[in-house]
Amino acid sequence: MTGQRPHGIGRRGLPAAAAAWTALPWPPLPWPPLPWATRPARAAAGRVVCIGAALTECVFALGEGPHLVARDSSSRFPAAALALPDIGYMRALPPEGIASLSPDLVILSEEAGPAEAVAVLRATGLPMRTLPDGAGPGAAEAKLRGVGAALGRDAEPVARQVAADWAMLDAPLAGLRARPRVLFVLSLARGAPLVSGEGTHADAAIAAAGGVNPVRGWRGYRPLSAESAATLAPDVILMMDFALQEAGGAAAVFATPALAVTPAARAGRVVALDGGLMLGFGPRAAHGRRALAALLHPDAALPPLPERPWTAA
């Protein structure tokens, strides 16, 4: 994502030989364009492999779940997804494993990798659709529309409902005076908790739910020292529910030296939420936003959101 910055330096000085080497018409050596490469990338009644938790939720939300033949290890919602074959961790894609499922379409989060394995998959001519894995307002609709286009299915009704649910929370959250400082802890990691910097899905989730991420100045999830935790002074520690369980509950969290000195520890405020609901920014984005806002602002009057088919497991 950082690569998107509009830098132009040195593009002229691009090592021509290296570029030419990669640009050569390298194989599939003696293999001509494969027939499936010319097939349109849609699977009205086809076999779909989906890699990326939020994208898998989108496929189910659009009613195309029955076409899925495999998922990645992060796709754990809805329950029907768990019954599908698992191609493993999305940053360690297995080219032959995916080809062995004879998919008519591979829907791929842009976060999937490694780039080499994606290049191999591309070279096989399998129809692939890479979709952005954004966070924040509008991200869920973008994913739904992307998946809908890939599947040849109208995503507008679902996207509009998600957008409407999201918008129901805008006014009540804007009216809140308190903006708690919320530190998202990915894992306690034996004393140096991994916390969310800028540009993370957790950062976007906290902002959308009316909190403030006190971490500024670096991106991604990184370990935090005890001293910087004290200067960040979070009012609330936020975790994924399974991570909090694994860590051993609130007592263990505040026994960590880095977190023991925070205002959150004095108030005993650690909250936890399902990771896919809170950080996925898929069809459940609005409901995740409400659930997190309710945890961060226990006294606020938030409107209940309607039950949707895609929020039920």
Partner 1 sequence: MDGGVRPAAGGAAAPAPAPGPDRTAGAPPSATRVLALGGLLLAAAMLAGLLLGPAAVTARGLLATLLDAAGLAPLPAEHARDAAVLGVIRAPRVLLAAMLGAGLAAAGTVMQGLFRNPLADPALLGISAGAALAAVAAIVFGHGLFGGLFGPQAGALGLWLLPVAAFAGGLAITFALSRLGTRAGVTSVPLLLLSGVALNALCGALTGLLIFMADERQARDITFWTLGSLAGARWPQVPVALALVLLPALLLLPLARPLNALVLGESGAFHLGVDVERLKRVAVVLSAVTVAAGVAAAGLVGFVGLVVPHLVRLAFGADNRLVLPGSMLLGASLLVLADLAARWLAAPAELPVGVVTALLGAPFFLWLLRRRAGLA
Compute how many other C-beta atoms are within 10 angstroms of the C-beta atom of residue 160. 12
Query: Binding to partner 1 by residue 220, rule CB under 8 A?
Result: yes
Phi first, then psi: give them for residue 12, nearest 5 degrees.
-65, -40
Q: Cα(130)–Cα(165) distance, rounded to whole angstroms?
A: 27
Distances (CA, A) of 157 to 85, 216, 307: 29, 37, 15
Query: Binding to partner 1 by residue 242, rule CB under 8 A?
Result: no
Q: Judged by CB under 8 A, which of 42, 65, 80, 89 binds partner 1?
A: 89
Closer CB to partner 1, 29 or 171, in the complex: 29
**What is the chain's length?**
313
Q: Cα(300)–Cα(235) distance, rounded to whole angstroms?
A: 17
Query: Binding to partner 1 by residue 95, rule CB under 8 A?
Result: yes
Query: Binding to partner 1 by residue 102, rule CB under 8 A?
Result: yes
Which H/E stretch holds residue 174?
helix 170-174
Q: Decide: 297 and 175 in contact? Cβ < 8 Å.
A: no
Closer CB to partner 1, 126 or 265, in the complex: 126
Q: Decide: 172 and 182 in contact? Cβ < 8 Å.
A: no
Q: Helices (H), strands (E): how many in the chain? A: 17, 9
Closer CB to partner 1, 186 or 302, in the complex: 186
When computed from its CA atoms, the radius of gyration of the chain, rounded to whole angstroms, is 22
Sequence-distant (6+) residues with CB within 8 A of 199 are 1, 219, 220
Ramachandran assignment for 239, one of left (phi > 0), alpha (psi -120 to 50 degrees), beta (any other): beta
Query: Binding to partner 1 by residue 16, rule CB under 8 A?
Result: no
* Total residues in contact with partner 1, by rule CB under 8 A: 65
Q: Judged by CB under 8 A, which of 44, 82, 92, 267 binds partner 1?
A: 92
Closer CB to partner 1, 47 or 308, in the complex: 47
Closer CB to partner 1, 177 or 190, in the complex: 190
Closer CB to partner 1, 89 or 255, in the complex: 89
Q: Cα(196)–Cα(221) distance, rounded to whole angstroms?
A: 5
List binders of partner 1 among 151-210 (CB under 8 A): 186, 194, 197
Query: Binding to partner 1 by residue 117, rule CB under 8 A?
Result: yes
Binding mask 19-58 for partner 1 (x = CB under 8 A): x-xxxx-xxxxxxx-xxx----------------------
Only segment of 13-21, 224-232, 250-258, 287-295 that touches partner 1 (CB under 8 A): 13-21
Q: Judged by CB under 8 A, which of 80, 222, 255, 274 binds partner 1?
A: 222
Query: Binding to partner 1 by residue 7, rule CB under 8 A?
Result: yes
Closer CB to partner 1, 162 or 206, in the complex: 206
Ramachandran assignment for 298, one of left (phi > 0), alpha (psi -120 to 50 degrees), beta (any other): alpha
Task: Please state whether the peptide bond connecting residue 263 to the residue before it is cis, i.e. omega within 30 degrees of 0.
Answer: no
Compute the least distance from the CB of residue 165 to partner 1, in Å. 29
Only segment of 79-87, 170-178, 281-289, 295-303 that touches partner 1 (CB under 8 A): 79-87
Which H/E stretch holds residue 182?
strand 182-187
Query: Binding to partner 1 by residue 217, rule CB under 8 A?
Result: no
Q: Any idea what DSSP says for residue 113?
A: -
Give me the residues that bind partner 1 (CB under 8 A), please.
Answer: 2-5, 7-11, 14, 18-19, 21-24, 26-32, 34-36, 70, 73, 85-89, 91-102, 111, 113-117, 119-120, 123-126, 186, 194, 197, 219-223
